[in-house]
Structure 1
């Protein structure tokens, strides 16, 4: 069928998605972090709920689905996260932005599937006020436990837990610019420009909302697309298709190990 802009669109059911995901190599028992563009897939009958159900169908009771549930507007407006708002409002935002509550605070800009999984029955969510992850399945509690305020994406973070579990990365209709796992490589790499940055978020401290400063790695995804393309070419990874979307399923651990070496050699 044709979309309003003339592109060929697909209509996809839960069964279609299950078959497509299995065809891409996703298996029962997998622990997988997914990034998706539902628009690229096509018209999904039932929307984000259907996509989440399909993912859970494929990995089964022994598997785990992880999605980023970040709330990055819970950062200082000086960083640009509220760039559309006048500077005169910044003190009000700092004073009144709600403290992060992992049971209530909605994800921001992570897509409908991530927000659906965050609210899914039995979902676990990590404690970071700006860079949380949500998970459902066998290892959900393990993946999301002890997400330190100062350690957003490094060792001990949900991304590192996925590495320890020899997990997968699933990119549905998105490229490596959305591949959050590559930030783990940044933490492990040693390159000249590596530096720390001070961030601020609203959190609860001793039962009271507080605006808290914390030091963490300054991350940069500007080279993620180039890095990902080189990795795919070198390892012969061929994208599959589900509906209208290119889909990539990669093992996280070898990608991170390769990316650390690449960053050491190529980042300034």
Structure 2
């Protein structure tokens, strides 16, 4: 791992550097891990997203599983704000013509190059939710991604809950808890009085035809995730590592979700 000879002083990282760094963070063979990654924070990776995915798979091995969000959140009603850059006059056409979700074809949106690479990896599995899917590669990929109900995005029975059952790890590479999707499982399990449902709509295939389907699901809110995550790290002494230019944290999902559920019950209105 060396510094580039530029004013930015970015790191240049090889696959071997990444394997050593990830192992040094505590990621082990056989692990099931949901990863959230900022490749820009890491530095210049020789081979880009492909090299990062190969390094992750090198570390967890054949018995391990890598999971990443592969969400397609623009496949929601324009009224929800997901097409904020387009004029309201276009909304009816967007509703009528937005492509139906196809888990083999539809690209992820805003999830980063690593998540998009994982989605297209040989043997990758992807869940069926048209807006909030997850992609996975490895031993438990099929189990994690099957039966992702429209109305149950992040709750019990969802990919996040299956990861909880597998006692998975959370890997935050160059990102904070604002990107920690597992905290939405805590939202679903909490009993704070402000919980409410939201009506969402997406384009899906039903009976071989495109349909614009409306469904109810829990309204989620990540506004306090950073505060919650920082409190958890202080209380539990979570160790921060460094790979290239990125701060990296590896933590167990199950104790975090349990703690966060109680925290939300106590701190959310």
Matched residue, 1:96: 97
- List aligned pairs for 1:77-92, cutoff 5 A: 77-92=78-93
Question: Structure 1 runs of 4+ off > 2 angstroms?
Answer: 1-4
Matched residue, 2:192: 191
TM-superposed CA distance for 1:2, in Å, is 5.4
Matched residue, 2:238: 237
Matched residue, 1:147: 148
Whole-angstrom distance in 1 between the partners of 2:185 and 2:146: 17
TM-superposed CA distance for 1:175, in Å, is 0.2
TM-superposed CA distance for 1:238, in Å, is 1.9
Matched residue, 2:117: 116
- List aligned pairs for 1:1-268, cutoff 5 A: 1=3, 6-268=7-269
CA deviation vs aligned residue, 1:18-73 (integer Å, no higher than 9, x gap):
00000000000000000000000000000000000000000000000000000000
Whole-angstrom distance in 2 between the partners of 1:56 and 1:10: 22
Unaligned stretches of 5+ residues in structure 1 = none
CA deviation vs aligned residue, 1:138-182 (integer Å, no higher than 9, x gap):
000000010001000000000000000000000000000000000
Which secondary structure state, in structure 1, belongs to the residue aligned with residue 265 of structure 2?
A: helix
Normalising to structure 2: TM-score of the pair? 0.98
TM-superposed CA distance for 1:3, in Å, is 7.9
CA deviation vs aligned residue, 1:70-92 (integer Å, no higher than 9, x gap):
00000000011000000000000
Whole-angstrom distance in 2 between the partners of 1:207 and 1:3: 55
Whole-angstrom distance in 2 between the partners of 1:93 and 1:249: 40
Q: Is the 8 A contact 2:4 2:12 kept in 1?
A: no
CA deviation vs aligned residue, 1:187-221 (integer Å, no higher than 9, x gap):
00011110000000000011110000000000000
Whole-angstrom distance in 2 between the partners of 1:8 and 1:187: 42
Unaligned stretches of 5+ residues in structure 2 = none
